[in-house]
Structure formats: C-alpha cells, structure tokens
C-alpha cells in the first residue's frame, strides 16, 4: 500500500472531530479506574471473609481520604 493511500485511509477511519472525544473518554475512564482502585484498596471494604474486620488492624493515623487535612490547614479566626 502506498503512503498516499494509507494517509487517505486514516482520514476515513478517524476524523479530526473524534480525537478530542476519545481523549476525554480515555481520561474519564482513567479517573474512574483510579477511583475504583482507591476505594477497593481501603480498609472500609471487605473483599474476603478471612478477615471480616480489616479496619481494626489499621494504624491510628490511617486516613482513607484523598486529601489529608491537618490542624494547620484549617483556618481559625484570630
């Protein structure tokens, strides 16, 4: 197949308008995958019954949220 025919075939298969849509859908799928992994790897969910209370074995400083807010991050009125 000649390079000109390959370029013409690529134009027919993937129009320019589709590329941003594919990018946004791919980004959304990656974010959803990260969210599912983060939630399933926490101590709140039991995936097997060998250890029905995994949250009892966690450290006292364990914070399952995405962003850790400390005391100095909170604004206090003077």
Cα Rg, the chain, nearest whole Å: 24
Phi, psi of 38 (to 5 degrees): -65, -45
Q: What is the pLDDT of residue 53?
A: 77
- Decide which of 20 and 8 is more confident: 20
Q: How far apart are CA 4 and CA 11, in angstroms?
A: 11
Phi, psi of 39 (to 5 degrees): -70, -40
Q: How far apart are CA 59 and CA 47, in angstroms?
A: 19
- 10-61 pLDDT per residue, tens: 666 778 888 899 999 999 999 999 988 887 777 677 777 787 777 777 777 7
Q: What is the pLDDT of residue 52?
A: 76
Q: How far apart are CA 24 and CA 27, in angstroms?
A: 5
């Amino acid at each position: 197949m000649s390079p000109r025919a390959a370029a013409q075939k690529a134009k027919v298969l993937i129009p320019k308008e589709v590329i941003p849509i594919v990018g946004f859908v791919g980004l959304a799928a990656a974010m959803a995958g990260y969210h599912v992994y983060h939630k399933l790897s926490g101590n709140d969910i039991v995936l097997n019954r060998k250890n029905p209370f995994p949250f009892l074995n966690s450290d006292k400083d364990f914070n399952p949220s995405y962003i850790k807010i400390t005391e100095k991050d909170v604004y206090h009125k003077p």
